[in-house]
Structure 1
Amino acid sequence: MKLTDSQIEKLYNFTQKHYVEWYDVQTELVDHLANGIETQWQENPNTSFEDALKTEFKKFGVMGFGDVVEERTKALNKTYWRLIWKNFKGFFKLPKIILTLFLIWAYYTALSFSMQYHTNWVVIPTLTVLFGFPWYFWIKEFKRSRRLKKQTGKKWLFDNTISQLGGLVHVMNFAIYFQVFYQNKQVWPVSLSVIFSICAVLIGMLIYIAVYVVTPKLRNEMAQHNPEYNFV
């Protein structure tokens, strides 16, 4: 005995009423609930839809669907970071490692030249980009998510993960703290300049990979496996 379309719709409404706002998570839960209900009907065809649903929901425990949302969020972040790390490691193998070392050297040279004249024309733009670009990307993705919801009537946990770059968006905190530190350092020792150059280049590479490599890849896969997911 299979669930009808109206019963499937009731399952979606049920998950939404229990504080699951993300359509991709709702779909996963609806599939799980539907399979459980159909299994109950195989064992006892006289069980009502409502009673079978209550029985399946009790299996999720006191937290209800909360644990599922949390686990799904962690899984998406883990997948996102796994792809970032996979591409990031490629920049430390030939021939890309040559480009990586060159960028660090070029940045260090520009930074050292700036420090000789006690100017901040290298550091401040760097911190501005590291702080500002994640914000720009987050705002852009937030607007995109709103358009997508208006178009489809659905919100996606996937988009929420993308907008935060899998948590990489919190790199902006680095820029805030370093600005305070920088105000107390008029002249940098060579070791600090080297460390800052390495960090600036590597963080910039991580942001680039997340935005221009991993995000498009995951978005294409999402669209292929979910016909409801549309580009805006």
Structure 2
Amino acid sequence: MKLNKEQLQQINAFINKRGFTYYDLKLEILDHMACKVEELMTADDKISLDHAISMAHGEFGVHGFSVFEDAMKSSLQKRYYKLFFTTFLSYLKPVYLPIYAGTIYLMHWLAVRFNSAELVLDIAWGMVFVLFLAYLLTNYLRERRFKGMLTNQMGGFAAVMINIPLQLFIYLPGKDSDLSQGTAGILMGAFLVFSIITYLCLQHMKNTVLDACRKLEEQYRLTVGS
């Protein structure tokens, strides 16, 4: 049997009472619970909705949702990381290489032309700062109704990734030589390309997750955050 809107809202209310930190995780658990309740009520048309919900919840064991929540959180994180890295690799296709090479060459030329590794460092960090603001504006303002998403943790992950090439620059030896200025330009060019790809991957991943959340909301006739 197909669950009606009132039944779905009752399951949703039951889940809300348990409390979940991440909204996308809650939707995954709602999907699992609704499917299980529907399966139980289809197998026995005399069973009440409350009893079916209780039985479905009981299948999670004595710890209720907690163990399943941890497992689902781990599963979602792995899914998000896989999506991120798959997208990252897609931006390494030959068609994009001329753009990356041009960016790296430009940074190299600026470092040598003005004999300043600090200049290219400032340019690179300025661009990264702009990308960071763009990420905040597009995801925390435009999509502010989707607060408490597990994908938001990927921002910290990206910060760690971006910090790696920065550390390489900090320990670059011989910054006073002409060769090192060019090397610094190449390094900062690669850093900038890396940062741009990371930003694009985060945006793609976040949009994919939001689309999945919207589909689940539509499927279960939910109001966001209800």
Give the match for residue 81 of structure 1.
85
Structure 1 residues 164, 133: CA separation in 2 closer, same or farther (over 3 Å shift)?
Answer: farther
Give the match for residue 19 of structure 1.
19
Q: Is the 8 A contact 1:108 1:194 kept in 2?
A: yes
CA distance in 2, matches of 1:64, 1:15: 13
Give the match for residue 152 of structure 1.
none
C-alpha deviation, 1:44, in angstroms? 3.8
CA distance in 1, matches of 2:156, 2:81: 5
Which residue among 124, 127, 134 is the counterpart of 1:126?
124
Structure 1 residues 12, 204: CA separation in 2 closer, same or farther (over 3 Å shift)?
Answer: same
Give the match for residue 37 of structure 2.
37
Q: Is the 8 A contact 2:162 2:195 kept in 1?
A: no
Could you state the TM-score of these two structures normalised by the residue count of structure 1?
Answer: 0.67
Structure 1 residues 47, 220: CA separation in 2 closer, same or farther (over 3 Å shift)?
Answer: closer
C-alpha deviation, 1:217, in angstroms? 6.5
Q: How does 1:156-195 map to 2 (within 5 A)?
A: 157=149, 161=151, 164=154, 167-174=157-164, 177=167, 181=171, 186-187=175-176, 189-190=179-180, 192-193=183-184
- Structure of greater relative contact order (alpha carbons < 8 Å, 6+ residues apart): 2
Give the match for residue 106 of structure 1.
106
* Aligned length in residues: 213
Structure 1 regions of 5+ residues with no counterpart? 150-154
Structure 1 residues 134, 12: CA separation in 2 closer, same or farther (over 3 Å shift)?
Answer: farther
Structure 2 regions of 5+ residues with no counterpart? none
AA paired with 2:200?
I
C-alpha deviation, 1:206, in angstroms? 0.8
AA paired with 1:168?
A
Whether 2:142 is the aligned partner of 1:144: answer yes
**Residue 92 of structure 2: SS of its match in structure 1?**
helix
Could you state the TM-score of these two structures normalised by the residue count of structure 2?
Answer: 0.69
Q: Give the aligned CA root-mean-square deviation in angstroms.
A: 3.9
